[in-house]
Amino acid sequence: MSSATWRSVFTYNKHTQITARAVRNSLQENQRLTAEKRGLTALSGRALTGDGTSIRYLTRKSCASSRSRIADIEAQISELERTLSSLKEEKDSIRDRLATYAYPVLTLPGEIVSEIFVHFLPDFPRYPPPIGLLSPYLLCQICREWRDIALATPALWSVISLSFREDGRFPQKLRYLQTSIERSGSCRLSLKLGTMGTSLAHKSLAVLNHVVINHFHRVEYLDLSSWSGYEFPTYTELSLPCLRGLKFGDLPEEPATPLVAPVLHQVVLHYFGGIGNSFFPWSQLTAITVAELIELGEYGYLMNELINIVHCRLSIYPAGHLSLGDITLAHLETCILENPSRYPAPSGIIATLTLPALRRFQIAETLFADKDDPVDSITALVTRSGCNLRELSITDANTAHITAYYHDAFPSTSLTFSPLDITEPFLMRWQDGPEDTESSDSDDESEGTDSED
């Protein structure tokens, strides 16, 4: 809205306030004069007053004075009534002008408003809650016109986050999920669904699975990091032709058939052991995080399979047998190797890796065997790879390897002894994911999902 328009609206409002104040003052003066006139009329119409014991006669002169004052009052009242009528007309005129004013934001085409609404949603990988300040339903509560635009904007309903924990609220939440999916039209879907710690009956979980699977053909991002896994259909082929990113929590058993996801590139796994080696199309992944329990044999398997990986975070449990031949990962730019257990690892964790594109490298010092010098091992990796290492992070560093030792070995590399600052959504630590925007399981949430229309 231009400054001239704001000044015009401000002037209208100020003039209306002044006019209303003048009307109130005129009414008060009119009432005062009317009361005075009424008193004088009563006084001049009587020759005497009193209770019979004390009588006071009005003189002819005082009666004439009262009648003259009444005439003056009537003249003033007439003038005030004319002024009052004029002010009321002016006030009505100003109100009519204000009523016809259209605020610029309300004159925007529906397509522009719809695009603004879409940008109202939180940035990926955050999800809007069912209710609250970041919920699309908030846009439905401004005015009827905006409500109609919001409900007719499919992209606004294509990003859904819900946690199913109790059977008592299951019907409302299921209806919210179904309604949002219907409103999303043909848009690609981003779903974040949780059942961890649930008390849902098996029948409810089966119904929920059925609803979700029926729309797998439109799912682009799927977050099941808080999914309990029970009743998840790992026994049948899962086809997600549009799936680009997937976060998995726990699965009750190894899937029987591979996941059909031709454009899947980013994966976050809580546990690797329950997934099975053949479930994911490993060779097409460009980003992967495995939060826990990668044994040495599984680490070797992944390093052989992730031939197109660009960003990788693996938490290694140094148990089992390490069988790792010469491996070249030509595209790997970010490599993070953690050891949450801090158990000593066998020799050769990185000895056979060649990483020519490596830019950021984080490794726990406990992943080097006692006989392997960490600085020498990392120097050999950089030399062998011919990479331009820009950031190096050494976590769980032993005090025996003082800071100066690393700085002398890598003078042109940004060196830190704390974890790297990672912002990629599929590379963050499991506990460091973006703040969940979903509302807690409160009565308000149940009411919000139940009163959506």
Provide the phi-psi class of 50: left if phi over 0, else alpha when psi is between -120 and 50, else beta.
left
Is residue 130 scored above 90 in pLDDT? no
* pLDDT for residue 450: 42
In this prediction, residues 21-35 reach a mean pLDDT of 69
Interatomic CA distance for residues 73 and 442, integer angstroms? 68
> Confidence class of residue 430 from pLDDT cuts 50, 70 and 90?
low
More confident residue, 74 or 276: 74
Provide the phi-psi class of 320: left if phi over 0, else alpha when psi is between -120 and 50, else beta.
left
Contacts of residue 332, defined as CB under 8 A and 6 or more positions apart, other chains included, come to 309, 310, 311, 312, 355, 357, 358
* pLDDT for residue 97: 84
Is residue 286 scored above 80 in pLDDT? yes
Model-level pTM?
A: 0.72
Is residue 15 scored above 60 in pLDDT? no
> Confidence class of residue 437 from pLDDT cuts 50, 70 and 90?
very low
Lowest model confidence (mean pLDDT) among 10-24, 218-232, 393-407, 428-442: 428-442
CA dihedral in degrees (39, 45, 50, 52; nearest 10)? -160
Is residue 127 scored above 60 in pLDDT? yes
> Confidence class of residue 441 from pLDDT cuts 50, 70 and 90?
very low
- The sign of the torsion formed by the CA atoms of 24, 29, 34, 39 equals positive
- Tell me which H or E stretch contains 39: helix 3-44
* pLDDT for residue 58: 54
* pLDDT for residue 386: 96
User: Can you name the residues that pair with 289 across neighbouring β-strands?
Assistant: 268, 313
* pLDDT for residue 364: 92
192 exposed, middle or buried (CB, 10 Å; 0-12, 13-18, 19+)?
Answer: buried
Interatomic CA distance for residues 314 and 338, integer angstroms? 6
* pLDDT for residue 44: 54
Strand 48-49 vs strand 56-57: parallel, antiparallel, or unpaired? Answer: antiparallel
User: What single-letter amino acid sits at 157?
Assistant: W
* pLDDT for residue 152: 94
CA dihedral in degrees (198, 200, 206, 211; nearest 10)? -80
Taking CA atoms, 157 is separated from 184, 191, 344, in Å, by 5, 11, 49
* pLDDT for residue 287: 95
Mean per-residue pLDDT of the chain: 79
Is the peptide bond prior to 136 cis by the omega test (within 30 degrees of 0)? no
114-118, 236-240, 443-447, range with greatest mean pLDDT: 114-118
* pLDDT for residue 43: 54
In this prediction, residues 395-423 reach a mean pLDDT of 84
Q: Tens digit of pLDDT for each residue in 300-354?
A: 889 999 999 999 999 998 877 787 889 999 999 999 999 988 777 888 889 999 9
Lowest model confidence (mean pLDDT) among 5-9, 66-70, 305-309, 363-367: 5-9
- DSSP summary character for residue 169: G
User: Can you name the residues that pair with 219 across neighbouring β-strands?
Assistant: 189
Q: Tens digit of pLDDT for each residue in 67-80?
A: 787 888 888 888 88
> Confidence class of residue 28 from pLDDT cuts 50, 70 and 90?
confident
